[in-house]
């Protein structure tokens, strides 16, 4: 980094600090005083969604999600298709919608009170969320299910788009030959810190092919791209195998304590329990709790963790969409639950629209969650 860029960096930090000082977050701000936001980032790199720390904000409102998807599709189109492929991407966008002439301005759209009435939107959405049971309140469970549905729609939309890119003979299936690893995999080298080198391998492909016909349909391809969210036991097993392979420094096909301690423990240790003395925790104490956990996971007591034994913690190594849906539901309820009864009434939601319409997960100033260590 050159001297100029260092100076610029310091100035940026200083400005940021000043901003934070004069803009101290108000726990219950009047929503008129701040702009509602949609997701601020979109990343084409699927590895980003595998990075535990940077899961995208799940869109709360299907209407906003739709605008966002159109915006993404446009960027996607620009990036991957030239004019000769236009017919492929034109089709799905055809249905009639409000005048979203410029999808880049979804934020202007939702902040235009004449076009987008937040109160009305929440009134419309509420009965779709309050369903289990229908009692006039939205619980963490109901909100988690709602978030999960939204994120699954999003994920599937991207899978279908990704399929268009790979399905060269347009038969609706992906063969192993058709699937070329995306450039970020090819460029990431053979053994770098990237997700893992087996990502595009035939074994991964075969494990995703649930009915074994040698082709991936939409469901199987979605599982292929998001193995941690799959119910396919073979795929989960493959994921565990990859975890072992990545950390197995002595190449004996299983993890001994040292390999676990240096490779995995940080990802699976329970910060909730250790939290209060984490800062003055000595290495010995930490190694002690690692040994306890290792012993619990080593079901057959042979002193090693096998692929099968890793299944117990695969959800912690690769948090699922459900995990993030729950995390976001917890956050929303914590922010909007004015009477602290642990659930949301319609009034509480209407009083706190920014919690629902905002890219909270990207704003450290508003959002702190010790689970981000995972």
Ligand X SMILES: *[C@@H]1O[C@H](CO)[C@@H](O)[C@H](O)[C@H]1NC(C)=O
Residue numbers at the binding site for Ca ion (CB under 5 A)? 130, 135, 137, 248, 250, 252
d(CA 255, CA 273): 25
- In the complex, the smallest distance separating the C-beta of residue 23 from ligand X, rounded to whole angstroms, is 25
The residue (of 131 and 364) whose beta carbon lies closer to Ca ion is 131
Residue among 218, 237, 245, 247 that touches ligand X (CB under 6 A): 218
Q: Does 273 bind ligand X (CB under 6 A)?
A: yes
Q: Does 249 bind ligand X (CB under 6 A)?
A: no
Residue among 119, 152, 312, 320 that touches ligand X (CB under 6 A): 119
Placement of tokens 């991964």 in the chain: 204
Q: Does 203 bind ligand X (CB under 6 A)?
A: yes
- In the complex, the smallest distance separating the C-beta of residue 17 from ligand X, rounded to whole angstroms, is 34
Q: Does 312 bind ligand X (CB under 6 A)?
A: no
- In the complex, the smallest distance separating the C-beta of residue 354 from Ca ion, rounded to whole angstroms, is 23
The residue (of 98 and 189) whose beta carbon lies closer to ligand X is 189
d(CA 374, CA 228): 15
- In the complex, the smallest distance separating the C-beta of residue 36 from Ca ion, rounded to whole angstroms, is 25
Placement of tokens 């535990």 in the chain: 52
Residue 43, SS3 per DSSP = coil
Stretch that binds ligand X, among 88-96, 135-143, 206-214, 295-303 (CB under 6 A): 206-214
Question: Could you say which of ligand X, Ca ion, none residue 252 binds, taking C-beta under 5 to 8 angstroms by partner kind?
Answer: Ca ion
d(CA 91, CA 205): 29
Question: Could you say which of Ca ion, ligand X, none residue 219 binds, taking C-beta under 5 to 8 angstroms by partner kind?
Answer: ligand X
- In the complex, the smallest distance separating the C-beta of residue 305 from ligand X, rounded to whole angstroms, is 22
Cα dihedral 301, 306, 307, 309 in deg (nearest 10): 20
Detail the DSSP E strand segments found in the chain.
Answer: 174-175, 215-216
Question: Could you say which of Ca ion, ligand X, none residue 220 binds, taking C-beta under 5 to 8 angstroms by partner kind?
Answer: ligand X
Q: Does 206 bind ligand X (CB under 6 A)?
A: yes
Q: Does 219 bind ligand X (CB under 6 A)?
A: yes
Taking the alpha carbons at both ends of the chain, their separation in whole angstroms is: 30
d(CA 337, CA 335): 6
Question: φ and ψ at 255, to 5 degrees?
Answer: -105, 125
String marking each residue 160-199 x if it binds ligand X according to CB under 6 A: -----------------------------xx---------
Long-range CB contact pairs, 199-208, < 8 A, 24+: 202/176, 203/238, 204/238, 204/242, 205/176, 205/179, 207/232, 207/234, 207/235, 207/237, 207/238, 208/232, 208/235
Question: Could you say which of ligand X, Ca ion, none residue 211 binds, taking C-beta under 5 to 8 angstroms by partner kind?
Answer: ligand X
d(CA 169, CA 275): 54
- In the complex, the smallest distance separating the C-beta of residue 115 from ligand X, rounded to whole angstroms, is 10
Continuous segment of H or E residues that includes residue 160 = helix 140-166
The residue (of 234 and 316) whose beta carbon lies closer to ligand X is 234
Q: Which of residues 44-83 bind ligand X (CB under 6 A)?
A: none
Tokens (6 digits) for 230: 């799959």
Closest Cα partner for 199 from 313, 44, 79, 46? 46
- Other beta carbons within 10 angstroms of residue 235's beta carbon come to 23
Residue among 98, 214, 233, 342 that touches ligand X (CB under 6 A): 214
- Other beta carbons within 10 angstroms of residue 23's beta carbon come to 9
String marking each residue 84-113 x if it binds ligand X according to CB under 6 A: -----------------------------x
Placement of tokens 């990075």 in the chain: 51
Question: Could you say which of Ca ion, ligand X, none residue 275 binds, taking C-beta under 5 to 8 angstroms by partner kind?
Answer: none
Strand partners, 255: 305
- Cis peptide, bond prior to residue 133, ω within 30 of zero: yes
Tokens (6 digits) for 292: 């306890």
- In the complex, the smallest distance separating the C-beta of residue 10 from ligand X, rounded to whole angstroms, is 36
- In the complex, the smallest distance separating the C-beta of residue 337 from ligand X, rounded to whole angstroms, is 23
Closest Cα partner for 182 from 49, 320, 85, 47? 47
Which residues contribute to the site for ligand X (CB under 6 A)?
A: 113, 117, 119-120, 189-190, 202-203, 206, 210-211, 214, 217-220, 273-274, 277, 285
């Amino acid at each position: 980094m050159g001297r100029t860029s260092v100076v610029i960096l310091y100035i940026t930090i200083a400005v940021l600090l000043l901003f934070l000082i004069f803009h101290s977050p108000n726990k219950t701000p009047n929503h008129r005083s701040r702009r509602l936001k949609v997701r601020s980032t979109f990343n084409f790199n699927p590895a980003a969604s595998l990075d535990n720390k940077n899961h995208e904000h799940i869109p709360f409102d299907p209407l906003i999600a739709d605008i966002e998807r159109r915006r993404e599709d446009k960027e996607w189109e620009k990036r991957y298709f030239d004019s000769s492929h236009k017919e492929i991407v034109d089709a799905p966008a055809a249905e009639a919608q409000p005048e979203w002439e410029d999808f880049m301005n979804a934020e202007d759209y939702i902040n235009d009170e004449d076009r987008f009435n937040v109160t009305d939107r929440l009134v419309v959405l509420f009965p779709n969320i309050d369903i289990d049971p229908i009692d006039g309140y939205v619980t963490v469970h109901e909100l988690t299910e709602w978030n999960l549905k939204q994120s699954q729609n999003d994920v599937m939309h991207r899978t279908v788009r990704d399929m268009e890119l790979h399905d060269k003979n347009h038969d609706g299936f992906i063969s192993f030959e058709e699937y070329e690893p995306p450039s970020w995999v090819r460029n990431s080298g053979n053994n770098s810190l990237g997700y893992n080198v087996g990502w595009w391998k035939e074994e991964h492909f075969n494990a995703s092919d649930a009915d074994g016909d040698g082709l991936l349909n939409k469901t199987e391809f979605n599982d292929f791209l998001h193995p941690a969210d799959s119910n396919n036991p073979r795929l989960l097993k493959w994921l565990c195998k990859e975890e072992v392979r990545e950390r197995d420094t002595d190449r004996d096909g299983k993890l001994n304590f040292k390999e676990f301690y240096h490779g995995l423990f940080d990802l699976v240790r329970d910060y909730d329990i250790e939290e209060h003395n984490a800062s003055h925790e000595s290495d010995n104490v930490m190694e002690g709790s690692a040994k306890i956990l290792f012993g619990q996971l080593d079901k057959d007591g042979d002193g090693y963790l096998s692929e099968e034994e890793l299944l117990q913690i695969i959800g912690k190594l690769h948090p699922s969409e459900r995990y993030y849906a729950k995390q976001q539901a917890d956050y929303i309820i914590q922010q909007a639950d004015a009477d602290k009864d642990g659930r949301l009434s319609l009034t509480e939601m209407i009083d706190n629209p920014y919690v629902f319409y905002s890219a909270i997960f990207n704003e450290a100033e508003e959002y702190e969650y010790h689970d981000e260590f995972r």
